[in-house]
A and B are shown apart, each in its own frame.
Chain A
């Protein structure tokens, strides 16, 4: 069913090169000497799916958490929609956050709320003028987008790992974000479910015209979704290119991700 919905775009198609996220010289050290980011430079263009690869602890998640202001970097600049998120007020940051969706590794569903309440919660906090019927329609539409409309009355504890991620994605999509940040969307899932999630990422990109940063270790997911890949090593961007380019990279360490 998911495959039918998929409208895969040829990778050769000319992309919009307007940057919507620009990270310059980003540094972050935890504790006294645990330097995780040592000058990351990264750009996400409009309509692009950028995959970030790297070993565990290389600072991939820290980078995207810096983008949404969950972690404050020590040094550097992060521009989102042409605004430096490190020099703006909390209310301005929240305005940007509404335009960015964030899918957590675990889904991060509110476990005291049903699936319906999880989705409606975010929506009603931002669109207070919606009637209950309109909220219900939006919730059902978001759930239908991820193919889980029948899970609307379930509690998070009743959902499988793949379902949690899809519901988490539906909750992210309900605010119709322009950028989506995926933190290891396929980790811990079986091959088939991982493929379904990857197809869903592509499907969302084409339906909602989103731009995404996808952090993953799953090379099948990277191959399916990436317009461009960057590889993080020791706190800096070590390599950059398309899947096909990096697969044949001169650096053996980079190639090892693709083997």
Chain B
């Protein structure tokens, strides 16, 4: 992401003589928008569909019913754990995506120029503010929560039959992806209002 963004943005910035803004622009774009959204979309495709398919399969094979009749709360065991894991882990994945994206940006800049890593990082740190990080990080918790809860909801509501397992997985991806765009849109509005 960082490498591509750098290579795509560089010619335009060079035209305006603003090549030195490149590290800051790449870092800002990555941290505020691209890394959280792309990572969340990948997680929606992989995790939400996985949860939807797994719980859907458990539902149609009566495993969830078996849990319920043995007086074990399936929501505590199957839903709470998964939603909590998604809520806590997606922000960590986004952090890694930020870091790898920034390294990609460094590589991209050095394809056409020669900037040392310390200078590159200094420029990034100078261009970032605390308020660039806070809303971007907060929204990733919501992304994670919705990825988990939508996967669980679709899985738990799979009707009987194996076909519904595929439908649950598919529907989980679509709904989770859509919810990420909506949350992102709301997050941007709230950020504009309060920060």
Contacts and interface: CB of A to CB of B under 8 A. Distances in A.
Interface of A: 65, 68-70, 94-95, 97-98, 100, 102, 104-106, 108-112, 121-122, 125-126, 168, 171-172, 175
30 contacts: A65-B65, A69-B68, A70-B65, A97-B68, A97-B69, A97-B70, A98-B71, A102-B70, A104-B66, A105-B62, A106-B61, A106-B62, A108-B61, A108-B62, A108-B65, A108-B66, A109-B63, A110-B58, A110-B63, A110-B67, A111-B57, A111-B58, A111-B61, A122-B70, A122-B72, A125-B70, A125-B72, A126-B71, A168-B66, A175-B70
A104 B67 CA distance: 11
A95 B70 CA distance: 10
Contacts of A94: 71
Contact of A104 (B54, B57, B65, B72): B65
Contacts of A102: 66, 69-70
A168 B65 CA distance: 13
A70 B69 contact: yes
State the main secondary structure of chain B at its contact with A: helix
A68 B69 contact: yes
Contacts, number: 53
A140 B68 CA distance: 23
Contacts of B70: 97-98, 102, 122, 125, 171-172, 175
Nearest to B54: A112
A97 B65 CA distance: 12
Given A97-B69, A102-B70, 17 more contacts: A68-B69, A70-B65, A70-B69, A95-B71, A97-B70, A97-B71, A98-B70, A98-B71, A104-B62, A104-B66, A105-B62, A108-B66, A109-B66, A111-B57, A121-B72, A125-B71, A125-B72
Contacts of A100: 69
A192 B98 CA distance: 62
Nearest to B72: A125
A225 B67 CA distance: 27
A95 B71 CA distance: 7
Nearest to A121: B72
Nearest to A177: B70
Contacts of B62: 104-106, 108
B113 to A, nearest CB: 51
